[in-house]
Amino acid sequence: MNKIKIAIVDDHQLFRDGIHSLLSKHQEFEIVISAEDGKAFLEKLNEGNHPEILLLDLTMPEMNGFEVLERLKKKYPKIKTIAISMHDDGNYIMQATRGGAHGYLLKNTDEDELLKAIYTVLSGNKYFNTEISQRMINIISLEGVSPKKLSPKEMEILVLIAKGHTTKEIAQKLFISTRTVETHRNNMMKKLEVKNTPELINKAAQLNLI
Amino acid sequence: MNKIKIAIVDDHQLFRDGIHSLLSKHQEFEIVISAEDGKAFLEKLNEGNHPEILLLDLTMPEMNGFEVLERLKKKYPKIKTIAISMHDDGNYIMQATRGGAHGYLLKNTDEDELLKAIYTVLSGNKYFNTEISQRMINIISLEGVSPKKLSPKEMEILVLIAKGHTTKEIAQKLFISTRTVETHRNNMMKKLEVKNTPELINKAAQLNLI
DNA sequence: AAAAGTATCCGTATTTATACGGATGCCAGG
DNA sequence: CCTGGCATCCGTATAAATACGGATACTTTT
Residues A78 and A131 placed together within one structural domain of the fold? yes
CA distances (Å), B11 to each of A18, A35, A131, in order? 15, 27, 17
SS3 content of chain A, % helix, strand, coil (to 5): 50, 15, 35
Residue A118 touches partner B, C-beta closer than 8 Å: no
Q: Is the pLDDT of residue A106 over 70?
A: yes
Asked whether residue A81 is assigned to any structural domain, the reply reads yes
> Which pLDDT does position A18 carry in this prediction?
84
> Which pLDDT does position B1 carry in this prediction?
66
Asked whether residue A57 is assigned to any structural domain, the reply reads yes
Rounded to whole angstroms, the Cα distance separating A116 from B41 reads 29
Residue A160 touches partner B, C-beta closer than 8 Å: no
Residues B138 and B168 placed together within one structural domain of the fold? no
Residues A73 and A133 placed together within one structural domain of the fold? yes
Closest CA to A42 of A69, A15, A13: A69
Which of A124, A142, A160 corresponds to the end of one domain? A142
Interface-testing mutation among A10, A12, A197, with chain B (most B C-beta atoms within 10 A): A12
> Which pLDDT does position A1 carry in this prediction?
67
Residue A13 touches partner B, C-beta closer than 8 Å: yes
Residue A61 touches partner B, C-beta closer than 8 Å: no
Residues B111 and B163 placed together within one structural domain of the fold? no
Contact B87, B59 (CB under 8 A): yes
Residues A165 and A92 placed together within one structural domain of the fold? no
> Which pLDDT does position B198 carry in this prediction?
97
Question: What CATH number is associated with residue B107?
Answer: 3.40.50.2300
Residues A9 and A39 placed together within one structural domain of the fold? yes
Residue A14 to residue B110, Cβ atoms within 8 A: yes
In this predicted model, which residue has the larger pLDDT, A109 or B173?
B173
B-chain CB neighbours of A111 within 8 Å are: 13-14
Asked whether residue A147 is assigned to any structural domain, the reply reads no
pLDDT confidence of A146, banded at 50, 70, 90?
confident
Asked whether residue B147 is assigned to any structural domain, the reply reads no
Which of A142, A164, A193 corresponds to the end of one domain? A142
Residue A148 touches partner B, C-beta closer than 8 Å: no
- The 3-state DSSP class for residue B192 equals coil
Interface-testing mutation among B12, B129, B181, with chain A (most A C-beta atoms within 10 A): B12
Residue A15 to residue B18, Cβ atoms within 8 A: yes
Nearest to B198 among A13, A114, A198 (CB): A198
Asked whether residue B38 is assigned to any structural domain, the reply reads yes
Residues B102 and B84 placed together within one structural domain of the fold? yes
Q: Which tens digit of pLDDT belongs to each residue from A40-70?
A: 999 999 888 899 999 999 999 888 999 899 8
pLDDT confidence of B49, banded at 50, 70, 90?
confident
Residues A192 and A125 placed together within one structural domain of the fold? no
pLDDT confidence of A73, banded at 50, 70, 90?
confident
Residues A129 and A75 placed together within one structural domain of the fold? yes
Q: Which tens digit of pLDDT belongs to each residue from B77-92?
A: 999 999 999 889 999 9
Residues B62 and B121 placed together within one structural domain of the fold? yes
Rounded to whole angstroms, the Cα distance separating B109 from B118 reads 12
Asked whether residue A48 is assigned to any structural domain, the reply reads yes
Query: Is the interface score ipTM higher than 0.85?
Result: yes
Q: Which tens digit of pLDDT belongs to each residue from A190-209?
A: 999 999 999 999 999 999 99
Q: Is the pLDDT of residue B207 over 90?
A: yes
* Overall domain count for chain B: 2
Q: Which of residues 139-168 of B have CB within 7 Å of strand C?
A: 161, 166-168
Residues A59 and A107 placed together within one structural domain of the fold? yes
B-chain CB neighbours of A163 within 8 Å are: 199, 202
In this predicted model, which residue has the larger pLDDT, B153 or B49?
B153
Is the Cα torsion angle B100, B105, B107, B112 positive or negative in sign? Answer: negative
Q: Which of residues 152-171 of A have CB within 7 Å of strand C?
A: 152-154
- Mean pLDDT across A170-197: 96
User: Among the listed ranges B17-21, B35-39, B81-85, B131-135, which one has the minimum average pLDDT value?
Assistant: B17-21
Rounded to whole angstroms, the Cα distance separating A114 from A106 reads 10
Q: Is the pLDDT of residue B73 over 70?
A: yes
Residue B168 touches partner A, C-beta closer than 8 Å: no
- Mean pLDDT across B98-105: 94
Asked whether residue B200 is assigned to any structural domain, the reply reads yes
> Which pLDDT does position B146 carry in this prediction?
74
Asked whether residue A185 is assigned to any structural domain, the reply reads yes
- Neighbouring C-alpha atoms within 13 Å toward the C-beta of B173: 14
Question: What CATH number is associated with residue B158?
Answer: 1.10.10.10
Residue A21 to residue B22, Cβ atoms within 8 A: no
Phi-psi region of A128 (alpha: psi -120 to 50; beta: other; left: phi over 0): beta
Instruction: State the nearest Cα–Cα gap between B196 and chain A, in angstroms.
Output: 6
> Which pLDDT does position A109 carry in this prediction?
86
User: Among the listed ranges A102-106, B108-112, B199-203, which one has the minimum average pLDDT value?
Assistant: B108-112
Can you give the residue range of the structural domain that contains B177? 152-206
> Which pLDDT does position B168 carry in this prediction?
96
Which of B118, B142, B166 corresponds to the end of one domain? B142
Residues B67 and B168 placed together within one structural domain of the fold? no
> Which pLDDT does position B2 carry in this prediction?
85
